[in-house]
Amino acid sequence: MLDYRGYDSAGIAYFDRGIKIHKDVGSVEHLMQSVPETIASNIMIGHTRWATHGAPTKLNTHPHLSFHETICLVHNGVIDNYKELKAKLTEQGYRFYGETDSEVVANLLESFYLEEKDVLLAIQKTKALLHGSYAIAFFVGDAPDFLYVMKKGSPLVVGKGKGFNLVASDASPMIEHTNDFLELEDGEFGFLSQDKVVIYDEKGNEVEKTPIHKDIELISHDLKGYPHYMLKEIEEIPQTISRLINAYFQDGEFRFDKDLLTDLRESDHILFIGCGTSYHAGLVGGRYFEKYKKSASRFIASEWAFHPTYPGKKPFIILISQSGETADLIHCLKIIKEHNLKNLIITNTGGSTLDRNCTYSLLLHSGVEVSVASTKAYVAQTTLLAMLAAALEDDKAVVADLRQAINVVNDIQDHYKPAIQEVAKELAPHKNVFYLGRGYDYFLSLEASLKLKEISYIHSEAVPGGELKHGPIALIEPGLPVIVFITDPETAPSMRSNIEEVKSRGAKVYTISTAELSSPEDAVVVKDYAYYLSSVAISSVAFYLAYYVSLEKGLNVDKPRNLAKSVTVE
């Protein structure tokens, strides 16, 4: 199942002497209470919805049944012109029960199907009118042995089994049943039955597809004794770092693809593109490459996609994505490919859309990350970027620094949780929090602040220490919590001045510092490490803090409201 990605409603449909649909707002477990234990049907479709068009209500939940009840459909993606299509269908007498763009597609398909009496023709006519992205699976009440699929912009993978066939947005939910997959390209469509898969290209010509054999990791729902995935994943950080060292540094040498290193060395500018936490990793990564005299810039994917710039004569693009399925980043890749630019994806998900389609791919080997709040993947991304940048100049000292960082993370796990929990108790009742830092500590502040707002619903802002006086200081008032990172020897004195500035305006300051830069009043003082590795060594302090605040507030730590693990819509 893809429920680990985050959803707010769920539904299934099948054919048993008629189309049967069970759907509701809430969890899959809740849905299953209304589903019969045994179902006699040759086909079944299911969907977990993360609301985009229309609130999370039962009527907006997939599967959607067309007005004349011939077509039952699930859809992932966004139909940009659904309002115009809906207006035209309404003129033809169609009525709609919910507000989704997906219900419009079900009805559009039905209108052509009733006209042509041919499903494949109806698909082609529908495709010609749809603007936007879609991975669609549907069945027709008149032919309940076939499941029809169509794809553009959103991932769709067919799983081939013996005596059965499956389809899903990625291979992971099918891996329990098969290792053989067919990947559909944009514009392709077709149908599956128990023993047959037929796929057509954009023009309607049948295409032969050879199954790809994949051994991907089964998504583990084993919490291994932890109360939440987030806690489990934070505590996996030390092994995540050492696994990466073992994967990319063997027998005393960096082990990266030689062509990748050559392309990176020959490029005159590196662009880092990502979203959310992965963008924050790109901020750090850019600084690592600058350390080795490479010029670098960093972009948020959804911004870059609408104003792509390519600094330098020979740019190289590094895309970063835990899931490898983020729609904003896939949009960027499309533009990058149109310009024939070499690119690399850094991802945790082998077999994902970005893994399959980028020039180079480096896997994070972090194990599946289930909690919506990304933790170990962020550390893995920054660890890998530190090693990749170092490999350009064969700077092996980085590996020793990373090993030292592992000790710091272990030490935080073993000794600092009670102190962090105390800070969390004090933060929990507040509505606003500030994070301050400079340089690497500012990048870490951004990530710490995102994590807190995601799972505690506290408004928080990360501000570079030097920017305070240019505006944000106006918001400092008595009692406001301000969390300060001081781990960089160069910027520590300035940060101490910033602390005085906010304290004199009544803020309650909690400082996280390293031993050599510490002051007696600091809230958390960690062991020293190579300061440029703060995202690797001490991000777990920020992650624990967000985790404990969320716990303190009794919130859903792993599945915070409104968020999805894998953001497959733009």
Closest residue to ligand M6R, judged by C-beta, is 276
Q: Tell me if 550 contacts ligand M6R by CB under 6 A.
A: no
Considering only the stretches 233-241, 269-277, 310-318, 469-477, report the one whose residues sit in contact with ligand M6R under the rule CB under 6 A: 269-277
Contacts of residue 278, Cβ cutoff 8 Å, sequence gap at least 6: 320, 321, 322, 326, 374, 377, 378, 381
Is the Cβ–Cβ distance between 246 and 377 less than 8 Å? no
Choice between 157 and 480, CB closer to ligand M6R: 157
Considering only the stretches 320-328, 385-393, 410-418, 550-558, report the one whose residues sit in contact with ligand M6R under the rule CB under 6 A: 320-328
Choice between 11 and 276, CB closer to ligand M6R: 276
Whole-angstrom Cα distance, residue 103 to residue 122? Answer: 16
Q: Tell me if 322 contacts ligand M6R by CB under 6 A.
A: yes
Q: Tell me if 66 contacts ligand M6R by CB under 6 A.
A: no
CB of 278 to ligand M6R, least distance (A): 4
Choice between 178 and 382, CB closer to ligand M6R: 382
CB of 30 to ligand M6R, least distance (A): 24
- Which of 133, 567, 568, 570 is close enough to bind ligand M6R by CB under 6 A? 567
Q: Tell me if 275 contacts ligand M6R by CB under 6 A.
A: yes
Choice between 103 and 454, CB closer to ligand M6R: 454
Local structure of residue 23 (DSSP, 8 states): E
Q: Tell me if 278 contacts ligand M6R by CB under 6 A.
A: yes
Q: Tell me if 276 contacts ligand M6R by CB under 6 A.
A: yes
CB of 269 to ligand M6R, least distance (A): 22
Q: How many alpha carbons fall within 13 Å on the CB side of residue 455? A: 31
The neighbour count for residue 222, using CB atoms within 10 Å, is: 8
CB of 544 to ligand M6R, least distance (A): 14
Choice between 110 and 355, CB closer to ligand M6R: 355
Q: Which helix (H) or strand (E) holds 509?
A: strand 508-514
Whole-angstrom Cα distance, residue 358 to residue 344? Answer: 6
CB of 377 to ligand M6R, least distance (A): 7
Identify the CA nearest to 85 among candidates 131, 136, 134: 131
Q: What track of x and - describes contact with ligand M6R for positions 333 through 372 (by CB under 6 A)?
A: ---------------------------------------x
Q: Tell me if 110 contacts ligand M6R by CB under 6 A.
A: no
Q: Report the C-alpha dihedral over residues 7, 432, 461, 304, rounded to 10 degrees.
A: 30
Local structure of residue 375 (DSSP, 8 states): -
Site size toward ligand M6R, by CB under 6 A: 17
Considering only the stretches 67-75, 270-278, 483-491, 521-529, report the one whose residues sit in contact with ligand M6R under the rule CB under 6 A: 270-278
Considering only the stretches 139-147, 323-331, 335-343, 432-440, report the one whose residues sit in contact with ligand M6R under the rule CB under 6 A: 323-331
| 3-class SS letters over 458-484 | CEEEEEEHHHHHHCHHHHCCCCCEEEE
The neighbour count for residue 104, using CB atoms within 10 Å, is: 29
**Footprint of ligand M6R on 286-315 (CB under 6 A):** none
Contacts of residue 476, Cβ cutoff 8 Å, sequence gap at least 6: 434, 468, 482, 502, 505, 506, 507
Q: What are the strands of the beta sheet with 64-65, ordered from one edge?
A: 64-65, 71-76, 134-140, 147-152, 189-192, 197-200, 206-207
Identify the CA nearest to 480 among candidates 459, 465, 464, 495: 459
**Footprint of ligand M6R on 440-499 (CB under 6 A):** 450, 454
Q: Tell me if 154 contacts ligand M6R by CB under 6 A.
A: no
The residue written with tokens 């995202």 in the block is 535
Which tokens go with 419?
A: 């102190």
Residues that bind ligand M6R (CB under 6 A): 275-278, 321-323, 326, 329, 372-374, 450, 454, 563, 566-567
